[in-house]
Structure 1
Amino acid sequence: MTAEVKGWCPGAHRPMASGDGLVVRVRPFRACLTDQQALALCALAEEFGNGMLDLTSRANVQIRGVAADRHQDLLRALWDIDLLDADPQTEGRRNILMPPDWVSGDQTYRLHDALAKAIPDFPDLPEKMGYAVDTGRSPCLSDASADLRFERDGDGHLMLRLDGAAKGWRIDERNAMSAVKDALLWFNATGGKSAGRMARHLRQVSLPDKWQSCTPRAVTKPLAPGRDNDATTFGVPFGNIPARDLIRLIQAARLTELRLLPHRLIRVATTVPDIAPFITAPDHPLLRIHACPGAPFCPQATVETRDLAMRLAGSVGGTLHVSGCAKGCARPGKADVTLTGRSGRFDLIRDGTPWDPPAAAGLLPHDLPDLIGTA
């Protein structure tokens, strides 16, 4: 069976059918949920879905298992709590990553809102394309999935960089959206749509020299679980949260706001004690493990994934990706060890992606511990 690569991600207006119902993706504005919005989402997951919330690698939240005949009711509920764009096309294209330290009215906040307003006027683009506003106190989004990046150069000036390029160009906030639009028009004019993403396009096409004049700040502290500066960042195994556990966290810690970060992380502006299943240890082995829902929850998967990934968590020193099919939804990049489901068995790929040639094929689960231990 060949995996069907959709070329788009589910949204709220445009959900994706899965083995357990519709997957409805919610894109919180500025990647932020108030406590009331988060509690309401938990209630909606229990009323309309399977009682779970999924954090995505691009800082969104998904409700799974939604019945098709209840989708419109769910949309109305999301609108009531200010988690839905009125325009389906805008909602589907509003892929904007935010750093954790923005404050209302600062430049990061203003750039986000300018982007959200300008997106309907941008040219037609592949639907997975997105933006990172990495203009906080220190850069932290350079390894997250985005195609155009607002950053700062070594002197602290605002710059725009296209993903896949080492350098970008200095811009002024007043012309930031016109700079983005120029870059997107160039992307389309040079055949970028066929590549699908900016970094993939730049492997085939040379970037104009005028857009390669300054270097972004180096990342000194990547995003990771832990406690610092009176804040707590949580990781969640596979990004999969029982709604009742998130309710317990919000109420126990008296949270007023949750900020969603790439890599399925949540940051709150207070120091919170450990509460299962949330992880605060940056080196926890489960945070190196990536697995999609797998069978029977995804119709393209032919293997169970997450229970297997949990059993194998201690067997790999680096990253492990267990993918139900060759699409690689849980981790689109390389992993030290990747297991790809194929016709009920597994392919083993070392230092690669689910669609790379395997080092071994046709493996059963009991074959795997010894084999991956040698990776």
Structure 2
Amino acid sequence: MSGFVVKGWCPDAFRPMMAGDGLLVRVRPPLGRLTAGQVEGLCEAANAHGNGQIDLTNRANLQLRGVTEAGWPALIEELQALELVDPDPVREGRGAILLNPDWREGDDTHAIASELRARLTELPELPGKVGFVVDAGRTPMLTHAPGDFRIERSTTGELLLRADGRASGMTVTRSNAVDALIRLAHWFADSDGRSARRMARHKTALPDWAEGDAVPASGKAMQPGAHPMGAVYGLPFGRIDATSLVTFIRTHDCAIRLTPWRLLIAEGIAPAPAPGMLLADSAILHVDACVGAPACPQASVETRSLAARLAPLTNGSLHISGCAKGCARARAADWLLTGRAGAFDLARNARAGATPLHTGLTPERAVALLGAC
């Protein structure tokens, strides 16, 4: 029996989660975009009420770390004043919408996501980890990003609504896509989807009206460097400190867009070096490593310094997890190191908690084993 605790929900602004370094408060900026003023205000709040560490999640949200219980109410007030948190906790809790970061005002992605945000109260009560994907650009980008109800572009160029875990979906239009999505969400709730908690695990057959043979198009990857909208910067392990970020924003006076790939887009600027941010692809951007000890009370090992050592040495995907929960990566990795009782277990082609090939490894032994492969 493992010693970790499954929370069953993701933190948000009104339901912060206690971690080893304080409260974890998740912020879901509308449409995944923040103006320069919003970034500056968020960074000031992160420093005033937390430890100044900001994480970019795989759902393109921001997490403010180390928030004190005494400072949390003031933090929420400041984030609401910045229009980064909805005053209605119900709407805020349902706003897990991931959209193609290349959206432009008025295009299908922007229009559908904006309508969905306006109609969040029409959704049923859903499990805390359920999220929505709107990937309706000409070139899909979110094929492998997490989401339960997905509006995507098909191989024939049409819009489709797809339930996660199903290979195909039903054709929709810009005008009826949100209607169909809300209807599918209600079916999920009414068919006991809450027990499965995620659409991909909900094995009940879809209703006839939601079946379809539209297949989603393959996506493309985003890389650090120049971008049609400005410059793309990589954040090692998806983290940046608030002081570095606010200095960057004050220097460039730009809006930013968030992505689920530890990358952010700085709008309207030419690529230029910035502290704590990468302008070229790097192995460290592709290693999955949770925050580890001591920031997470369930982790028995420090993770990220080892991940930085192993990143340039490892062929294939690498996941380093502080415990058997595997928060940093849900799918299997070529190489998996899982913390247990202060040491590491090593497994191949596995998810966290899998039966290991080696146990009780020190960081030095792990480097020796993986570096020799």
| TM-score interval, smaller chain | over 0.9
2:177 is the counterpart of 1:179: no
The 2-side partners of 1:159 and 1:66 are apart by: 40
Match among 340, 346, 351 for residue 344 of structure 2: 346
Corresponding residue for residue 231 of structure 2: 232
The 2-side partners of 1:212 and 1:358 are apart by: 41
The 2-side partners of 1:48 and 1:301 are apart by: 24
Taking structure 1 as reference, are residues 351 and 343 closer, same or farther at Cα in structure 2, changes over 3 Å only?
A: same
Q: For 1:198-237, what aligned pairs fall within 5 Å after superposition? A: 198-201=199-202, 204-208=203-207, 210=209, 211-219=211-219, 221-229=220-228, 231-237=230-236
* Amino acid in the other structure paired with 2:64: I
Structure 1 segments (4+ residues) deviating >6 Å: none
Corresponding residue for residue 272 of structure 1: 271
CA shift for structure 1 position 34: 0.3
CA shift for structure 1 position 321: 1.5
Corresponding residue for residue 143 of structure 1: 144
The 1-side partners of 2:208 and 2:262 are apart by: 35
Q: Secondary structure at the match of 1:165?
A: coil
Corresponding residue for residue 289 of structure 1: 287
Normalising by structure 1, report the TM-score.
0.93
RMSD (CA atoms): 1.8
Match among 308, 311, 315 for residue 309 of structure 2: 311
Q: How many residues align?
A: 370
CA shift for structure 1 position 73: 0.7
Corresponding residue for residue 248 of structure 1: 247
Q: For 1:17-28, what aligned pairs fall within 5 Å after superposition? A: 17-28=18-29
CA shift for structure 1 position 209: 5.9
The 2-side partners of 1:188 and 1:261 are apart by: 28
Report if aligned partners of 2:310, 2:371 keep a CA contact under 8 Å in 1. no
Taking structure 1 as reference, are residues 55 and 374 closer, same or farther at Cα in structure 2, changes over 3 Å only?
A: same
Percent identity over the alignment is 44
Normalising by structure 2, report the TM-score.
0.94
CA shift for structure 1 position 114: 1.6
* Amino acid in the other structure paired with 1:140: M
Report if aligned partners of 1:148, 1:160 keep a CA contact under 8 Å in 2. yes
CA shift for structure 1 position 208: 4.9
Corresponding residue for residue 332 of structure 1: 330
Q: Secondary structure at the match of 1:68?
A: coil
CA shift for structure 1 position 361: 2.0
CA shift for structure 1 position 39: 1.0
Gaps of 5+ in 1: none
Q: Secondary structure at the match of 1:173?
A: coil
Corresponding residue for residue 36 of structure 2: 35
